[in-house]
Amino acid sequence: MKIMIEKDFEAMSETTKNILFGHMSQDKRVNLSITAGNTPVHVYKKMVEIVKDSPNYANVHYYNFDEVPVAGQKEGITITDLRKLYFTPATIDEANIHPLTVENYAEQDKRLAMDGGLDAMLIGLGGDGHFCGNMPTTTSFENLTYKIKVTGEEPWFVPDMMEKDMEFVTMGPVSVMRVKHLILIVNGEKKAEMVKNVLQGPVTEEFPASILQLHPNLTVILDEAAASKLDR
Amino acid sequence: MKIMIEKDFEAMSETTKNILFGHMSQDKRVNLSITAGNTPVHVYKKMVEIVKDSPNYANVHYYNFDEVPVAGQKEGITITDLRKLYFTPATIDEANIHPLTVENYAEQDKRLAMDGGLDAMLIGLGGDGHFCGNMPTTTSFENLTYKIKVTGEEPWFVPDMMEKDMEFVTMGPVSVMRVKHLILIVNGEKKAEMVKNVLQGPVTEEFPASILQLHPNLTVILDEAAASKLDR
Amino acid sequence: MKIMIEKDFEAMSETTKNILFGHMSQDKRVNLSITAGNTPVHVYKKMVEIVKDSPNYANVHYYNFDEVPVAGQKEGITITDLRKLYFTPATIDEANIHPLTVENYAEQDKRLAMDGGLDAMLIGLGGDGHFCGNMPTTTSFENLTYKIKVTGEEPWFVPDMMEKDMEFVTMGPVSVMRVKHLILIVNGEKKAEMVKNVLQGPVTEEFPASILQLHPNLTVILDEAAASKLDR
Amino acid sequence: MKIMIEKDFEAMSETTKNILFGHMSQDKRVNLSITAGNTPVHVYKKMVEIVKDSPNYANVHYYNFDEVPVAGQKEGITITDLRKLYFTPATIDEANIHPLTVENYAEQDKRLAMDGGLDAMLIGLGGDGHFCGNMPTTTSFENLTYKIKVTGEEPWFVPDMMEKDMEFVTMGPVSVMRVKHLILIVNGEKKAEMVKNVLQGPVTEEFPASILQLHPNLTVILDEAAASKLDR
């Protein structure tokens, strides 16, 4: 694992954007999977400036790694967020966007294998140690892409839109281990303890992201606050 | 994971040899790590016929993945066995052999990184679920190459030459996950139950090889007997 | 370039088969392109024995690299020959066979890029120095996959079925340079002079295969006769 | 080939820097070869800001691709220029710098193979179509790293410091074709014609850089002026 500690959120975002462009600028099909949420907001703002209306990145394909469906809506939370933050302002061609859904999740690992695998995946870290939709108590390390049903008694924070009996889908630990370059970004002091747990503690399903210590090519980009509890 | 079931020990050995030659025949430096023991005996017999005195494989380097020192002897059990089975009869140049020792183990992961990483590793499976020197009760999934001291109270089979307080070294789960192509060979009915445990059961340190389910490019080659308890 | 000299046609075929199985046995989609003709006949005979009715190689996809259409027939010479020698006896699933045709050739490079690129290509050498359908006088090194019209005045041997004004298609030098592992097999004394020309002489469009000296991962497998004029 | 056209020198430099950081930020040894001269000056200025005193890039090794010795000086023109522009201000550890010299050039290709090969090479384009030290009239496409003696009658511009009978060394076309990602940067209107010649004209030793059309993973980054004569 390579840990890069940047001075603040802005520097973390700049470094992350550069790493993604390193992949995207090669002369071959590049398959990316990128995270929704707050952590990458500045990464995408920077990327939009470069990718918008550019002919240079038609070789890049985007795959979702998790999805939470919303009752009465055609698309789920993740893809909706990614469209708003990146796909729409960056004018990404719809043919290059590959959503994950409750309907197609069982084919996700095969589809990725057929398309040559993921070159890079950008993920964040949950305050409870989750990554993608791999939550404490619902994750088994031997999972490929799988479906989880909300019981309403989860020990982890359940967002308001996740009602009891609702199902969501996520790429599991085995699927994520196959990504050629895994990029984990975390910022802020309130995640500092969990950063230490998952990067320097034991590998345990209690903190699912601890399994990422086993990834063969993991780059972790932290701001100073998120790195503040690490043994250096 | 790709599971290949061959009809017998001979067919398993032939397939394994072919896979290794696929790597060795490329026009680049190829770094291999190969197992000692009984399982690969026919693999090496076949390889010796091809490699002995051949100018074609000078690009192949060999790294040990574990070692058990022997009191009063210059070299340990693993390298001694590999020399007998393969290095000596195959006339491998000493400059292409990179032993692991109790003295140099702490540099093993860095040395491999500096040399471009392992292209392939051939391993076997212990009847107790161990792989390399990763034994039940002494393995933590977050280990790189590490040293273990024999307590004399191990739940696993301790060979006669392993006395109390003796130390041995092994590449750990994190190190093995970095190998580009991992090849696991198992034969015989008495390992059939453990094959099922580690390939189709939960990932648990109780059966260390269960972690191999997470490897991004694992080929398992079994004879019919070893595969007899798998869900197919 | 790595040159492997085997004692005879049989040994050349055995080594070639092993290299191909090295690729095919990985746990990922593997894209191969294999040659028709006489040189690989024993390679395919050996492969059929292993692949026929086996569940182990469903991950392997086959792409043609050239094609000569035949008037009044649905499929061309190359694919017809490959079906006879390998695809049919090896029971390859039709979904894994990707023919090249006069109709679809303009999409070949893009299709390959979208499918993750070719992992390996097996080719032969023409007595006139051609490779794939890259013939002396019709090849430009800057070609991707292209179409050639037979003028009837070719300096190279034109098979009977190639009539004046007939068109054929082939992957060009740029396309072949993108293959991750290129495997060239040649046997027999009558090609020995051309082997020397293309492997140890100047790079020139007069002998199109001389460009292969620039391939980053080329394995050449020769029998003794074909290697007899090489400087060693 | 992937051609990226940026609006000016600054944008070209920014994109180039990002691509290099994409490589440098992975969790593995990264071998780079970077060009001296005027074209990359802003690239290095940007890189120095990030790399200087940073612990993040100790995994990056630098290899020279050509060298012109200077009478009476310990080091040649290229390495001296690179030290001034990048190695010294970026505080690169001497152990990570691998100079090419008139003395060690014959081992360059083997050394690179032993070190795992070059992950990326950044090159410029000469006004006469040269790349690295591959000059018109002295380049043969079949060259690995080689030595050239100045005759004083070169058709190409000979810098003042290159006296008659002086020798210089360069990685040749075969060596450059082995680089995993080749990055070519060109700016300015006065090179626009040559950009068109080498990227869209025939492959010919008259314009050595035309051979780069055959590289399997080439990214070309141009400013608008350098791209002004390309067929788009």
Q: Which residue in the set A2, A18, A59 is minimally distant from D21, CB to CB? A: A18
Contact B28 D114 (CB under 8 A): no
pLDDT of residue C157: 67
Residues of chain D positioned with their CB less than 8 A from the CB of A27:
1-2, 216-219
Length of chain C, in residues = 232
3-class secondary-structure state, position B153: coil
pLDDT of residue D161: 64
Digit-coded pLDDT (tens) for C196-229:
999 999 999 999 999 999 999 999 999 999 999 9
Residues of chain D positioned with their CB less than 8 A from the CB of A217:
26-28
Length of chain D, in residues = 232
The residues of C annotated as belonging to the active site are 66, 128, 130
DSSP-derived secondary structure for C8-59: SHHHHHHHHHHHHHHHHTSSS-EEEEE--SSTTHHHHHHHHHHHTT-STTTT
pLDDT of residue D88: 98
**Which of A141, A144, A205, A211 would you mutate first to test chain B, the one with the most B CBs within 10 A?**
A141
Which one of A66, A119, A215, A223 is the catalytic residue? A66
> B104 CA to chain D: closest CA distance, Å?
20
Tokens of A79: 């893809």
Give, in degrees to the nearest 5, the angle at Cα B205 between B199 and B206.
80
Contact B177 A216 (CB under 8 A): yes
> D60 CA to chain A: closest CA distance, Å?
12
Q: Which residue in the set D29, D114, D117 is minimally distant from B113, CB to CB? A: D29
For residues D54-76, average pLDDT? 94
Q: Quote the CA–CA distance of B23 and B62 in Å, as a whole number.
A: 13
Return the higher-pLDDT residue of B3 and D162: B3
pLDDT of residue A208: 97
- Amino acid at residue number A91: T
Active-site residue, B128 included:
yes
**Which of D1, D2, D7 would you mutate first to test chain A, the one with the most A CBs within 10 A?**
D2
Q: Quote the CA–CA distance of A35 and A50 in Å, as a whole number.
A: 19
Residues of chain C positioned with their CB less than 8 A from the CB of B1:
27
Return the higher-pLDDT residue of C21 and C156: C21
**Which of D26, D27, D29, D174 would you mutate first to test chain B, the one with the most B CBs within 10 A?**
D29
On the question of pLDDT at B152 being above 70, the answer is yes
pLDDT of residue A160: 66
Q: Which residue in the set B23, B27, B219 is minimally distant from C217, CB to CB? A: B27
Contact D2 A26 (CB under 8 A): yes
Return the higher-pLDDT residue of A22 and D153: A22
Q: Quote the CA–CA distance of A192 and A199 in Å, as a whole number.
A: 11
**Which of C11, C160, C178, C175 lies closest to C71 in space, CA to CA?**
C160
Q: Quote the CA–CA distance of A229 and A224 in Å, as a whole number.
A: 10
pLDDT of residue D67: 96
Contact B177 A215 (CB under 8 A): yes
On the question of pLDDT at C159 being above 80, the answer is no
Instruction: Read off the pLDDT band of B135 (50, 70, 90).
Output: very high
**Which of A85, A218, A107 lies closest to A171 in space, CA to CA?**
A107
pLDDT of residue D170: 98
pLDDT of residue A158: 67
**CATH architecture for the domain at C2-223:** 3-Layer(aba) Sandwich (3.40)
> B171 CA to chain C: closest CA distance, Å?
22
User: Mind spelling out the 3-state secondary structure of B75-141?
Assistant: CCHHHHHHHHHHHCCCCCCHHHEECCCCCCHHHHHHHHHHCCCCCEEEECCCCCCCECCECCCCCCC
Percent of chain A with pLDDT over 70: 97
pLDDT of residue B161: 64
Long-range contacts from B103-111, C-beta under 8 angstroms, 24+ separation: B105/B67, B105/B145, B105/B146, B105/B147, B105/B169, B106/B145, B108/B63, B108/B144, B108/B145, B108/B171, B108/B175, B109/B144, B109/B145, B109/B171, B109/B174, B109/B175
Residues 6+ apart with CB under 8 A from A136: A128, A129, A130, A155, A156, A205, A206, A207, A208
**Which of C112, C114, C119, C178 would you mutate first to test chain A, the one with the most A CBs within 10 A?**
C114
ipTM above 0.90, yes or no: yes
pLDDT of residue C163: 77
Distance from the first to the final alpha carbon of chain D: 13
Contact B26 C59 (CB under 8 A): no
Q: Quote the CA–CA distance of B204 and A204 in Å, as a whole number.
A: 9
Enumerate the β-bridge partners of residue B134. B131
What are the CA-CA distances from residue C134 to residues C109, C211, D199, D200, D208 (Å)? 16, 11, 21, 20, 22
* Burial track C38-75 (b if 16+ CB lie within 10 A, e otherwise): ebbebbbebbbebbeeeebbebbbbbbbbbbbeeeeee
Distance from the first to the final alpha carbon of chain C: 13
Which one of A61, A119, A130, A223 is the catalytic residue? A130
Q: Quote the CA–CA distance of D12 and D207 in Å, as a whole number.
A: 23
On the question of pLDDT at D160 being above 70, the answer is no
Tokens of A209: 């992201």
What are the CA-CA distances from residue C85 to residues C46, C60, C79, C90, C133 (Å)? 11, 17, 10, 9, 19
Q: What is the mean pLDDT of chain A?
A: 95
Percent of chain D with pLDDT over 70: 97
Nearest residue on chain B to C17, alpha-carbon basis: B18
pLDDT of residue C165: 85
On the question of pLDDT at A71 being above 90, the answer is no
Which one of A23, A42, A98, A128 is the catalytic residue? A128
Contact A25 D18 (CB under 8 A): yes
Contact D214 C211 (CB under 8 A): yes
On the question of pLDDT at C155 being above 80, the answer is no
Q: Which residue in the set D1, D26, D217 is minimally distant from A219, CB to CB? A: D26
**Which of C56, C171, C172, C29 lies closest to C114 in space, CA to CA?**
C29
- Amino acid at residue number A232: R
On the question of pLDDT at B139 being above 90, the answer is no
Of A106-120, A171-185, B92-106, C141-155, which range is least confident? Answer: C141-155
Q: How does DSSP classify residue A65? A: S
Percent of chain B with pLDDT over 70: 97
For residues B174-183, average pLDDT? 98
> C58 CA to chain B: closest CA distance, Å?
10
> C143 CA to chain D: closest CA distance, Å?
9
* D2-180+187-223: in CATH 3.40.50.1360: yes
Largest CA distance in chain A: 49
pLDDT of residue B157: 67
Helix axes B9-24, B41-51, angle to 10 degrees: 40
> A208 CA to chain D: closest CA distance, Å?
21
What are the CA-CA distances from residue D148 to residues C192, D71, D142, D211 (Å)? 31, 16, 15, 19
For residues A26-54, average pLDDT? 96
**Which of A86, A35, A15, A24 lies closest to A209 in space, CA to CA?**
A35
Nearest residue on chain B to A174, alpha-carbon basis: B214
Contact B26 C219 (CB under 8 A): yes
Digit-coded pLDDT (tens) for C171-189:
999 999 999 999 999 999 9
On the question of pLDDT at B207 being above 80, the answer is yes
> D135 CA to chain C: closest CA distance, Å?
16
Q: Which residue in the set A173, A178, A214 is minimally distant from B173, CB to CB? A: A214
Percent of chain C with pLDDT over 70: 97
What is the dotted CATH code of the domain comprising B2-180+212-220?
Answer: 3.40.50.1360
For residues B23-40, average pLDDT? 95
For residues A94-99, average pLDDT? 98
Residues of chain D positioned with their CB less than 8 A from the CB of C213:
141-142, 174
Nearest residue on chain B to A202, alpha-carbon basis: B142
* Burial track D158-174 (b if 16+ CB lie within 10 A, e otherwise): beeebeeebebbbbbbb
Contact A214 B216 (CB under 8 A): no
Q: In what order do the strands lie in the sheet with D97-98?
A: D2-6, D218-223, D181-186, D120-123, D30-34, D60-63, D97-98
Residues of chain A positioned with their CB less than 8 A from the CB of D219:
25-27
pLDDT of residue A137: 82
Q: What is the mean pLDDT of chain B?
A: 95
Contact C214 D213 (CB under 8 A): no
pLDDT of residue C152: 80
Residues of chain C positioned with their CB less than 8 A from the CB of D142:
201-203, 210, 213-214
Nearest residue on chain B to C24, alpha-carbon basis: B19
Instruction: Read off the pLDDT band of A153 (50, 70, 90).
Output: confident
Which one of B130, B181, B215, B223 is the catalytic residue? B130
What are the CA-CA distances from residue D7 to residues A225, D66, D198, D229 (Å)? 37, 30, 21, 15
Tokens of D58: 């100790």
Which one of D23, D98, D109, D128 is the catalytic residue? D128
pLDDT of residue C80: 97
Residues of chain A positioned with their CB less than 8 A from the CB of C114:
29, 115
Return the higher-pLDDT residue of C152 and C30: C30
Residues 6+ apart with CB under 8 A from B78: B36, B64, B66, B67, B68, B100
Q: Quote the CA–CA distance of C34 and C210 in Å, as a whole number.
A: 20
Residues 6+ apart with CB under 8 A from A95: none
Q: How does DSSP classify residue B46? A: H
Nearest residue on chain D to C142, alpha-carbon basis: D203
Q: Which residue in the set C141, C201, C210 is minimally distant from D214, CB to CB? A: C141
Q: Which residue in the set C201, C202, C213 is minimally distant from D174, CB to CB? A: C213
Residues of chain C positioned with their CB less than 8 A from the CB of A117:
28, 116
Instruction: Read off the pLDDT band of C161 (50, 70, 90).
Output: low
Tokens of B208: 């260390």
On the question of pLDDT at A159 being above 90, the answer is no
| Domain boundary assignment for chain C | 2-223
Q: What is the mean pLDDT of chain D?
A: 95
Contact C174 D214 (CB under 8 A): yes
pLDDT of residue B190: 96
CB of B57 closer than 8 Å to CB of B15: no
The dihedral through the CA atoms of A114, A115, A117, A122 has a sign that is negative
Find chains touching chain A: ≥3 CB pairs under 8 Å.
Answer: B, C, D
For residues A55-80, average pLDDT? 95
pLDDT of residue C160: 66
**Which of A203, A206, A212 would you mutate first to test chain B, the one with the most B CBs within 10 A?**
A203
Return the higher-pLDDT residue of D232 and B1: B1
